[in-house]
Amino acid sequence: MQTRNLQKAEKIFFSMATVKCIPNICTYTALMQAYAKKGLCIKAEEVFEALQAAGYDPDVYSYNALLEAYSRAGFPFAAVEVLNTMQQMNCEPDRASFDILIDAFGQAGLVDDAKRWFYQMKTAGFTPTLRSHMVLLCALSKVGRVEEAEGIVLELQRAGIKPDTFVFNSLLHAYGNAGKYTQMDELFKVMEQGLCKTDISTYNTVVNSYAKAGYIDKVEEIFTHMARQKISPDVCTWTSLIGAYAKKGQYKRCISLYRDMIFSGCRRDEVVDKVLLSSFSKLEDAEDALEELDTLYKEVLKSNANPTALSLTL
C-alpha cells in the first residue's frame, strides 16, 4: 500500500508540468515526506535540491523531511549534518527536528547519543512531549537499560503525562531484554488488572522475551492464558512460540504449531517460514523432516495461503 501511495505521489508531482501547474514549496515538501517514510534519502535529497533550484528557501518542514529520510535510512550522523546546515541557513529546528534525531540514534542503537539529543532539546527550550519520551524509552528498552527506562516513565508522570499501553509495553520490553523476568511478570499482571489497556503487543512482548530465553513452559503458559482471555495470537505470537521450539530442535512440534497457525486463519509471513525451517538445520536425518515439510507445504497450498520461504526448500 505504501509503495503504491509513493508511486501515486510521484505520478501526480511529475504530471504537474504537463498541465502547466507549478509546484510550490508545500508540493516539494510533500514528495520529500513520501520518500522519507520509505527511507529513500537520495530521492529526498534530489527533491530538496529541486526545491532550491525552483527558487524556494527551504523551511523547517523541508529540512525535517530530509532529517526523517536520513533517519529512516539508518544514517543518524548524516541527519545531524542536515540539522547543522539548517542552523547555518538561519532556519531554527523545532521540537519535531529533535524528536527525529532522538529516534534516528535510538534506532541505530546509539542510545547515549539519543539521550544527548533528548537533553539538547530541553536546552534549546523545548518541552519534550509524549513522543519525545517514547522514542528515547524505546531506545533504552531495546538494550535493556531498565533503570533509565523506569526513569523516563517517572519523568512522564511528573510532567502530568499519563503513561499509556505503548509506554508500559516498552517497559516490559526493557525488563525482558535485561533478563528481569520477575519485574516483567509483575508489571504484566498489574497491566492486566487495570493499570492500562493491554493489547496484542503486550502479550507478544512477554511471549518473545521468554521464547528468546528458552523458557518454553512460560511461553506455553501465556499462550494458553491468551486463549482463555479470548485473545487471538497474531503471526508474531506464533513466530515466537515456534521459534522457542526451533531453538531446541523440536521440529515435529514446530510443524504441529505451524499447522495450527495456518488453520487458525492467521496470515503467515516469510519470518515465520524461516523460523520453521531453522528447526531442521541440526537434524542428522533430514529425509523424514523433508517428507513432513513436503506434506505441510501441500496442506498450505490447499488452504490457499501464498507459499513463501517454504517453497525454496522443495
How is 241-293 classified by DSSP, letter by letter?
A: HHHHHHHTT-HHHHHHHHHHHHHTTPPP-HHHHHHHHHTTTT-S-HHHHHHHH
- Whether the model pTM is above 0.75: yes
C-alpha cell at 265: 486463519
Per-residue confidence (pLDDT) for residue 305, from 0 to 100: 53
The answer to whether 253 and 224 are in contact (CB under 8 A) is no
As a whole number of angstroms, the distance between CA 74 and CA 196 comes to 33
As a whole number of angstroms, the distance between CA 168 and CA 141 comes to 11
C-alpha cell at 48: 530538496
Whole-number CA gyration radius for the chain: 24
Q: Give me the residues of the chain with pLDDT under 70, please.
A: 1-4, 9-20, 281-290, 292-294, 297, 299-314
Per-residue confidence (pLDDT) for residue 274, from 0 to 100: 85
The identity of residue 255, as a single letter, is I
The answer to whether 239 and 279 are in contact (CB under 8 A) is no
As a whole number of angstroms, the distance between CA 21 and CA 42 comes to 25
State the DSSP H helix or E strand holding residue 66, giving kind and residue range, or none if neither: helix 60-72
C-alpha cell at 20: 502547466
The identity of residue 220, as a single letter, is E
Residue 309: CA count within 13 A, CB half-sphere: 11
Question: How many residues does this entry show for the chain?
Answer: 314
Per-residue confidence (pLDDT) for residue 18, from 0 to 100: 67
The answer to whether 272 and 258 are in contact (CB under 8 A) is yes
The identity of residue 64, as a single letter, is N
The answer to whether 89 and 121 are in contact (CB under 8 A) is no
Output 22-29 pairs: Cβ under 8 A, ≥24 positions apart.
23/54, 24/56, 25/51, 25/56, 25/58, 25/59, 25/62, 28/54, 28/56, 28/62, 29/59, 29/61, 29/62, 29/65
As a whole number of angstroms, the distance between CA 154 and CA 69 comes to 32
